[in-house]
A and B are shown apart, each in its own frame.
Chain A
Amino acid sequence: GAVVSQHPSWVICKSGTSVKIECRSLDFQATTMFWYRQFPKQSLMLMATSNEGSKATYEQGVEKDKFLINHASLTLSTLTVTSAHPEDSSFYICSATERDYNEQFFGPGTRLTVL
């Protein structure tokens, strides 16, 4: 149980385009979903926390107008990177928790390359 999927697994896009990444909890209801970014050889950096039906809480330094997060249901959250630039190229990982918050279940990640 507790499976989280992400789609797409990898994406290559041109600078200036927008990219949407989906995160789904397949067999549980995710009251909270987290979006992380990880650059090579660095640890996970939390970008934002989203609760179903409410606006996401962004970490300091993360532009909410550039990284749009929608958590419309208990099983789906989306991250849209708007007007992507090469410096946005990274590994984006989502995770989800059930009601007790104790364990985060991670998706497999999405590798974004912006040319």
Chain B
Amino acid sequence: GQNIDQPTEMTATEGAIVQINCTYQTSGFNGLFWYQQHAGEAPTFLSYNVLDGLEEKGRFSSFLSRSKGYSYLLLKELQMKDSASYLCAALDSNYQLIWGAGTKLIIKP
């Protein structure tokens, strides 16, 4: 079956760095997405990786290893507004997104 695993909740301190891991098992693979979702709002796109390696975009970076079925989202210089759920989603061979349950990130002052 298809499956996405990510931690349920993480806590980090303002100004610090946090890494949110995601492992996936899908029927075929056409890329991996990270979305940010604040409570009561729709998800917003953060990153898309289809090739191995690290993609950096400002304070956020995303890494992919296709051979390991593994990705992580790295958030630097954490701000209070980064408190949100972070959703990992893999695009399978039918171009359907398989969603993880999300990681709730709590930022403390």
Contact B44 A106 (CB under 8 A): yes
Contact B102 A46 (CB under 8 A): no
Contacting A at CB under 8 A, from B60-109, are 87, 91, 95-97, 99-102
Contact A43 B31 (CB under 8 A): no
How many A-B pairs have beta carbons closer than 8 Å: the answer is 42
Contacting A at CB under 8 A, from B2-55, are 30-31, 33, 35, 40-45, 48
> Given the complex, which residues of A lie within 8 Å of B41, measured CB to CB?
108-109
Contact A46 B97 (CB under 8 A): yes
On chain A, the number of residues with a Cβ less than 8 Å from chain B's Cβ atoms is 18
> Given the complex, which residues of A lie within 8 Å of B30, measured CB to CB?
101-102
A42-B101, A43-B102, A46-B97 known; A102 and B91 CB under 8 Å?
yes
CB distance from B8 to the nearest CB of A (A): 10
Contact A43 B100 (CB under 8 A): yes
